Structures are given as C-alpha cells and as structure tokens.
Amino acid sequence: MKLSDGFDARRLRPRGPGNWRMRFAAILAALFAAVGVLLTMAGAASLLGRAPSLGALNDSTAAATTLLVLGLLLLWAGIAVWRMCRRRLRRPSDLSMAPHLMKKRD
C-alpha cells in the first residue's frame, strides 16, 4: 500500500475535549502539597520550641500538634490528588498501536 506524503492519520480521529481541567487540578493539588509541607514544618518547629514568628503557636502544644497533623493531612491529600491527575493526563485516549507493528520509515 502506498502512503502519500500529505496523509495525516490525526485528521481522521475526532478531537476530544481539552484536558485543561486535569492540569488545573494537578497544579492545585501540587499547591496544596506545598502548603502542607509548610504547615508541617511550622508545626514541627513550634513543637521543638524554635518558632519565634508563629505568634500564638508558641503558647500551646495543642495548637502546634493540630498544625502538624493538618499539614501532614494536606500534604498526603495533595500528593494523592496530584498523582491521580497525572495518571489521568498520561492515559492514552487515542487509538493505540504497538510500536513494533508500525511501518518503519527511513
């Protein structure tokens, strides 16, 4: 079978919806993970007694422990959602063919 140079198989496939929602969700999840890291570090610093700029967190260990747990939960949730979005973004939605079955071109 002769293939012409102007043939493009992508024109035959219908265009799917854009994946900007998943990209936005991945960015938001990465931001949540970063905030979780910062909250965890602030809570740990307050528990260790080295948090001069945290204000009222120096007074009680309960507030510092709450901040530490909240930061860990936010970090865990951010990483989980980010991984889910990245997995969905990388999932192929077009026709798939094994590379060894395609015609070799010089």
The residue that leads in pLDDT, 4 or 106, is 4
Q: Give the integer Cα–Cα distance in Å for 71 and 40.
A: 4
pTM: 0.67
Cβ–Cβ contacts within 10 Å for residue 58, how many?
Answer: 16
Q: Give the integer Cα–Cα distance in Å for 58 and 43.
A: 10
Amino acid at 59: D
pLDDT on residue 96? 61
pLDDT digits (tens, 9 = 90+) for 18-65: 678 889 999 999 999 999 999 999 888 888 877 666 666 667 788 889
Amino acid at 71: G
pLDDT digits (tens, 9 = 90+) for 70-96: 999 999 999 999 999 998 888 766 556
